Amino acid sequence: MSAHENAREGYDFAHPLPLPLLAGTFVVLTMLTILTVAQASFEFGSIDVLIVMVIATVKAILVGAIFMHLAWDKPFNIICFIGSFVFVGLFIMFTLFDSRATVKDDIPILDDGIVTASAEK
Amino acid sequence: MATTDAGLASDAHDKPGHGHSDHGHGDHDHDHPSYLAHHFDTPEQQFDSGKLGMWLFLVTEVLFFSGMFCAYAIFRSWRPEVFEGCSQFLNTKLGAINTGVLLFSSFTMAWGVRCAQKEQHKLLTVMLATTLSCATVFLGVKAIEYSHKWHLGLLPAGLFSYDPANLHPEGGPNYLAWICAPFIAITIGVAIWLVVSFLRGAKFQFECAKPLFVVCLFFFVGVGLGTILESGADKEHSSHDTVAVSDAHGSEPGEGHAAVEGHDSHADAVASTDAEPATDHSTDLALIERLASDSTNTGLKADLEARKMQSELASGGIVYDVVDDTSATVAHAEDNVLRPSRAGVFFSIYYCMTGIHAIHILAGIGVMVWLLVRSVRKDFNHNYFGPVDYVGLYWHIVDMIWIYLFPLMYLIR
C-alpha cells in the first residue's frame, strides 16, 4: 500500500496481526490446555474448580484479546462484551445464593430404581 | 468517522469492473466501490457497523449459554458427587483432542482474517478449508463420543438406562451409522458435484467443490481418530476393572465404574460430614456414620438418621421426613451417582451443553462454506474483509465456550 492511499479517511483501516503473534498465542493456548489436563491428575481438593476456571479464563482472555482483536478494538465493543460476562456473573451468583438457601427444601426421591451392580447382592 | 464524501457517494453508485480498491483513491467524486453498501460512507464505517452488530450478537450468545452454565452450577452444587462420578464416563482424551482441534481452528481462522486483510486469496481459501476441516474432525470425534454413550445407555434423565451388569445391550440401533449417515450423504453429494463440475469444465464450481470435498472427508478422519482413542480408553478401563471387580462384589468384567464410584462417593460423603462443624458431637457422629455405612447395620443407620435430623432442627433447618422405604434397604447403602434420576440429570446437562455447542459448530460450518465460496470468488480485499472477521469472531466465541465446557465436564476430580 502506497503512502498516498493512507491519506484517504475511512479506507485502509485494516491492521493485519503479525503471524508470529497468532502462532505464539496458539502455542500458549495449547500449553494451557495441557496444563489443565495435567492438573486434573493431582488432588487439589476444593480449589480444584478454582484452578480450572482460572486457567480457562486466561485462555478465554487470550482468545478474546488476540484472536478476536479485542486488544485493538473500539472501547464500546469491549464494554459490551465484558459487560455480558458481568451479567452472567450476577445471574449465576444470585441463582446459586438462592439455591443454597433453599437446598433443604428438597423433596425426597421415592422408589427410584438403582443401577449399581452391588444392588443385586 | 469519515464524512468526507458524504452526499457525494450516494449518487455515485457505480458498479463497474474496477470495483476493487486498487484503482485510484485520489478521485473522490464517483467512487463508491462495489463492496461498499450504498448507505455507508466509507468501508471503515461499514466494517465498524457490522462489527458492532456482531458483538451484540455475541453478547446474546454468551447470555444464552450462561443459562446452561447456571443449570450446571446449581446441579453441581447440589450433588457434587454425581458430577464427579459421572464425569468418569467422559473420555478425557477425546475431550482434550477436541480442545486442541478447536484451538487450532481458531488459529487458522485468525490467520484467515489476516489473509483477507492482505488479499492473499489462495491462502485465505486454504485457511478457511483448514478451519472447516477442524470443525468436521471435531464433529467426527463427537459422533464417536455420543454413539458410544448412547450404546451404553448413558442417556439424559428419563432415558438413562446404564446398567453396569449389562454393558452391551442387544438390539439397540447402530447409533454411529445414524449419525454418520447425513455426513456420508453430503460427502457423496459433494463428490458428485466435484466430478460433474470437472467434466463440464465449470472451473469456479470445481474450485469450490475441491476444498469442500476435503472438508467432508475430514469428518471421517475425526471418526477414525475418535474410534482409535475410544478403543484405547476401553482397554485401559478393562484393565482397571480387573482390579476394581475384586472389591466390587460381582459386577461384570468390563466396567467397574459403578462400584468404584459407589465407594468413592461414599468415602466423600463421610468426609464431608466430617467437615461439617455444625454440632458438638460431630466426631461422635462421624464414628457412628462409619459404623452405619455397613448396610446391614440398620439400627445404627436409623439412629444416625434421627441424630442428624435433631441437629438439623436445632440449627433451624426445615426438615422433611426423609425416612422412606429405601432408607433401610441394602439399595440405599450404595446409593447415589448412578441413580437414573441423578446421573440422568448430569447427562441431560452434558448433552444439552455439548449438543448446543455442536449445533453452533454446524452453524459455523454453514457460514464458513459461504465464506469459502466467496473467497474462491476473490470477494475480499483490504477494505472489505468484514464477513471473514465477523465469522471469525463467532468461531472464536464457540471456541471460548468449549474452553470452559471442557474442564467443567471432562476434568472433574
Distance CA B147, CA B156 (A): 13
Distance CA B256, CA B264 (A): 12
Higher pLDDT, B324 or B388: B388
Candidates A14, A30, A88; nearest CB to B103: A30
Distance, in angstroms, between A52 CA and closest chain B CA? 6
Candidates A13, A116, A118; nearest CB to B47: A13
For residue A90, count other CB atoms closer than 10 A to its CB: 11
Residue B381 backbone dihedrals phi, psi, to 5 degrees: -145, -175
Three state DSSP letters for B68-119: HHHHHHHHHHHCHHHHHHHHCCCCHHHHHHHHHHHHHHHHHHHHHHHHHHHC
For residue B303, count other CB atoms closer than 10 A to its CB: 14
Name the percent of chain B lying above pLDDT 90.
53
Flag whether residue A116 sits within 8 Å of chain B, measured between CB atoms.
yes
CA B364 vs. chain centroid, Å, equals: 13
**CB-CB neighbors (< 8 A) of B335 in chain A:** 114, 116
Q: Where are the alpha helices (H) located in B153-256, listed in sequence order?
A: 175-199, 203-247
**CB-CB neighbors (< 8 A) of B159 in chain A:** none
Residues 80-109 of A with CB under 8 A from B: 80-81, 83-85, 87-88, 91-92, 95-96, 99-100, 103-109
The three-class DSSP label of residue B15 is coil
Q: Using alpha carbons only, what angle is made at residue A53 by residues A47 and A54, rounded to the nearest 5 degrees? A: 90
Distance CA B168, CA B396 (A): 38
Name the percent of chain A lying above pLDDT 90.
58
The answer to whether B117 touches B381, Cβ cutoff 8 Å, is no
Domain positions in chain B are: 48-251+339-410, 257-334
* pLDDT of A103 higher than 80: no
Distance CA B195, CA A73 (A): 44
Give the mean pLDDT of B349-355: 95
Q: What average pLDDT is seen over chain A?
A: 84
**B298: nearest Cα among B318, B273, B327, B255:** B327
What is residue B304's predicted lDDT score, i.e. its pLDDT?
74
Higher pLDDT, B84 or B318: B84
Distance, in angstroms, between B39 CA and closest chain A CA? 14
Distance, in angstroms, between B206 CA and closest chain A CA? 30
Place of cell 422405604: B325
Residues 176-235 of B with CB under 8 A from A: none
What is residue A45's predicted lDDT score, i.e. its pLDDT?
74
Residue B117 cell numbers, joined: 486483510
* Strands (E) located in A11-110: none
Give the mean pLDDT of B285-291: 63
Flag whether residue B51 sits within 8 Å of chain A, measured between CB atoms.
yes
Flag whether residue A20 sits within 8 Å of chain B, measured between CB atoms.
no
Taking the domain B48-251+339-410, which CATH number applies?
A: 1.20.120.80
Distance CA B69, CA B75 (A): 10
**B341: nearest Cα among A26, A107, A113:** A113
The three-class DSSP label of residue B384 is strand
With CB atoms and an 8 Å threshold, state whether A117 touches B325.
Answer: no
What is residue B294's predicted lDDT score, i.e. its pLDDT?
61
Distance CA B217, CA B299 (A): 63
Identify how many contiguous H helices and E strands chain A contains and give both numbers: 4, 0
Residue A109 backbone dihedrals phi, psi, to 5 degrees: -85, 125
Place of cell 470443525: B135
pLDDT digit string, tens, across residues A38-72: 988 887 777 888 999 999 999 999 999 999 999 99
What is residue B280's predicted lDDT score, i.e. its pLDDT?
47
With CB atoms and an 8 Å threshold, state whether A118 touches B251.
Answer: yes
Tell which of B72, B79, B400 to mutate to test the A interface (max A CBs under 10 Å): B400
Name the percent of chain B lying above pLDDT 70.
70
pLDDT digit string, tens, across residues B233-245: 665 554 444 333 3
pLDDT digit string, tens, across residues B195-227: 999 999 999 999 999 999 999 999 999 999 999
What is residue B310's predicted lDDT score, i.e. its pLDDT?
74
- ipTM field: 0.84
Higher pLDDT, B152 or A44: B152
Flag whether residue B109 sits within 8 Å of chain A, measured between CB atoms.
yes
Give the mean pLDDT of B93-101: 95
With CB atoms and an 8 Å threshold, state whether A77 touches B406.
Answer: no
Confidence of residue B231 (pLDDT cuts 50, 70, 90): confident
Flag whether residue B317 sits within 8 Å of chain A, measured between CB atoms.
yes
Give the mean pLDDT of B154-177: 82
Residue B388 amino acid letter? V
Give the mean pLDDT of A28-36: 95
* pLDDT of B149 higher than 60: yes
* pLDDT of A6 higher than 60: no
Q: Rg (Cα) of chain B, in Å, rounded?
A: 29
**CB-CB neighbors (< 8 A) of B337 in chain A:** 116
What is residue B262's predicted lDDT score, i.e. its pLDDT?
41
**CB-CB neighbors (< 8 A) of A104 in chain B:** 312, 317-319
With CB atoms and an 8 Å threshold, state whether A96 touches B74.
Answer: yes
Give the mean pLDDT of B294-309: 69
**CB-CB neighbors (< 8 A) of B339 in chain A:** 109, 112-115
For residue B372, count other CB atoms closer than 10 A to its CB: 23
With CB atoms and an 8 Å threshold, state whether A33 touches B411.
Answer: no
Count residue pairs from A and B with Cβ separation < 8 A: 227
The three-class DSSP label of residue A96 is helix
Q: By mean pLDDT, which of A45-49, B35-39, B270-274 is the weakest?
A: B270-274
pLDDT digit string, tens, across residues B361-395: 999 999 999 999 999 999 999 999 999 999 999 99
Residues 238-297 of B with CB under 8 A from A: 248-252, 258-259, 262
Chain A residue with CA closest to B315: the answer is: A104
Residue B409 amino acid letter? M
